[in-house]
Structure 1
Amino acid sequence: MTSQNTLSQLDALEAEAIHIVREVVAQMERPALLFSGGKDSIVLLHIALKAFAPARLPMPVVHIDTGHNFPEVLDYRDRIVEQYDLQLVVGSVQAAIDKGTVREEPNGSRNRIQTPVLLETIESNRFDACMGGARRDEEKARAKERVFSFRDEFGQWDPRNQRPELWSLYNGRVHQGESIRVFPLSNWTELDIWDYVASREIEVPSIYLAHERDVFHRGGMWMAANEFCQPREDEMIERRTVRYRTVGDATLTAAVLSDADTVDKIIAETAATRLTERGATRGDDRVSEAAMEDRKKEGYF
């Protein structure tokens, strides 16, 4: 006979994530939460707000702004920051380019050069822990990482030097200059994220729902035609019904053909797919088999 007190899959994942978030605040002096307006960071913020309700979120939210954002996502970010009276810290890639501390790449993508901006933002604000919405099912390098991921004084990650996490005991001890990256959603899947969004009735940016958009085909992916990304001579703009499974730098984040214009339809579509959202729509992860791991070793989240 099943106990009536048995937690559902989502309740168990939520309880684990709330425990991790509270551990961060209990152990660390200056924690922060990364919030871009993407679906994973939305769920993480919802969980963090729930962990400390009815009190105000006891940490700032951080966005590393590449300057190549989808407007729907930025509008959502700003509205949520105002709604919950959050302290927003923005690390600007454009400002770093203007100062000459980073150099824009020839292909126009700012994905790789956001890493030094993230590290500078962490250092200047003296954050000793940063929480993010990364999940282990996204990519092979993420699957290697612990929930509490130690970073040295240069912000770098060594996959061969990670701390044990037996019995969900987390070690947040760091020396001055060192920090911890924390992933409370490590054990979630993309389907779990959408099930949670549906069950908790969480609003997401409209870009995640199917809509008509001008796109062109490049490298097996549907790229949006916008101010940051334009078709080449041999690429034709088409009007297609698409949605985004993940959002990031608009120069290399692709859409997928879809008619899923509700969260319930997204759940059905996600349950049937066999390709992760990063594998399907992120050009930066197609550079090499080790692209993500190489960036994480440099300090990428």
Structure 2
Amino acid sequence: MTVTYELSHLDKLEAESVHIFREVAATIEKPGLLFSGGKDSVVMLHLAVKAFWPAPVPFPVVHVDTGQNFDEVLEFRDRTVERYGLRLIVGYVQDDIDAGRVHEEYEHAPRNRLQTTTLLRTIAEHQFGAVFGGARRDEEKARAKERVFSFRDEFGAWDPRNQRPELWSLYNGRHKRGENIRVFPLSNWTELDIWSYILREHIDLPSIYYAHRRSVVERDGMLLAVNRFIQPTADETPFDEMVRYRTVGDATCTGAVESNASTPEEVVAEVAAARITERGATRADDKISEAGMEDRKKEGYF
């Protein structure tokens, strides 16, 4: 009698991601893992820990800090780094503002678009041959054009028509000094996959991913938290609402959604029923055309 074993959907995704991490560690010098404390980067780190266990993760985690982060997320980032004994490298957007390399449009303007300069500077300073990112297949269309191993030239630029084939899960990470590879271990995952995996693996997340009462204002069709970066205008009235965050980014442009989902099980059910992508619903800075996002990626945006 022949005995066969069929991997579950999540097991297949996990195995593919673990393979990608090990392939990079074996073939590319000086990788780094982008870690913001957001759910995708948390899952990515969890997979990296699994890939090399019981050895420690053999590369540092990297955070491009806009200076406008949610306090809960920064606290979680630092706690997680300490828990795993990781080396944390932080590139500060404020350093590039102070040096005159980038400029804010106005006080407390969203800094998402300024991150590209800081990311490229951090990659160059630490001579990373590869940087892991958490882009998924169900995000906006420009991200979906990425390969798993996405080649970037010596200027950090991305050319979607000049990428390498990836037949039979064979990846080519060869590059010259100054060039680098952006690697996306979650390329075949969706938001629902991420939350299903969080539920299965009992992965800890920042508290703002679950329903909590928060003071918000409604602006541009989104619920923005009132904080030191977002203050009500003369015609806005803040109100308390039960909300959670589907994605975490710059606090000046990341909106919350009304929700009572306070457990992973409840979030899985909520995400399964959602018909709007997380970024389309909650990231003001991402509400640009596909061509606009592609242009940003060509300049070096992750």
**TM, length-normalised to structure 1:** 0.97
Mapped pair 1:26 → 2:16: no
Q: 2:100 — aligned with what?
A: 100
Equivalent position SS for 1:112: helix
Q: Shift of the alpha carbon at 1:52? A: 0.4
Instruction: State the alpha-carbon separation in 2 of the partners of residues 3 and 165 from structure 1.
Output: 31
Instruction: State the alpha-carbon separation in 2 of the partners of residues 16 and 289 from structure 1.
Output: 28
Q: 1:151 — aligned with what?
A: 152
Instruction: State the alpha-carbon separation in 2 of the partners of residues 288 and 235 from structure 1.
Output: 28
Counterpart of 2:128, as a letter, is F
Q: 198-207 or 291-300: which moved more?
A: 291-300
Q: Shift of the alpha carbon at 1:289? A: 3.6
Question: Identity of aligned pairs, percent?
Answer: 66
Q: 2:137 — aligned with what?
A: 136
Deviations 1:66-93 (A, max 9, x none): 0000011000000010011000000001
Counterpart of 2:114, as a letter, is I
C-alpha RMSD of the superposition? 1.4
Q: 2:7 — aligned with what?
A: 7
Q: 2:73 — aligned with what?
A: 73
Instruction: State the alpha-carbon separation in 2 of the partners of residues 232 and 294 from structure 1.
Output: 32
Instruction: State the alpha-carbon separation in 1 of the partners of residues 168 and 89 from structure 2.
Output: 34
Instruction: State the alpha-carbon separation in 2 of the partners of residues 41 and 286 from structure 1.
Output: 22
Q: 1:290 — aligned with what?
A: 291
Equivalent position SS for 1:216: strand
Equivalent position SS for 2:116: helix
Contact 1:285–1:291 under 8 Å retained in 2: no
Mapped pair 1:240 → 2:241: yes
User: Structure 1's 3 and 203: CA in aligned 2 closer, same or farther, altered over 3 A?
Assistant: farther
Q: 1:39 — aligned with what?
A: 39
Q: 2:176 — aligned with what?
A: 175
Instruction: State the alpha-carbon separation in 2 of the partners of residues 59 and 152 from structure 1.
Output: 22
Q: 282-291 or 244-253: which moved more?
A: 282-291
Instruction: State the alpha-carbon separation in 2 of the partners of residues 255 and 12 from structure 1.
Output: 31
Q: 1:50 — aligned with what?
A: 50
Deviations 1:25-59 (A, max 9, x none): 11101111111100000000000011000111100
Q: 2:256 — aligned with what?
A: 255
Output aligned runs, 1:185-264, within 5 Å. 185-264=186-265
Q: Shift of the alpha carbon at 1:290? A: 2.5
Instruction: State the alpha-carbon separation in 1 of the partners of residues 66 and 3 from structure 2.
Output: 49
Counterpart of 1:162, as a letter, is Q
Instruction: State the alpha-carbon separation in 1 of the partners of residues 226 and 279 from structure 2.
Output: 20
User: Structure 1's 210 and 100: CA in aligned 2 closer, same or farther, altered over 3 A?
Assistant: same
Q: Shift of the alpha carbon at 1:4? A: 5.3
Q: 232-241 or 251-260: which moved more?
A: 232-241
Counterpart of 2:204, as a letter, is E
Contact 1:246–1:253 under 8 Å retained in 2: yes
Instruction: State the alpha-carbon separation in 1 of the partners of residues 197 and 17 from structure 2.
Output: 13
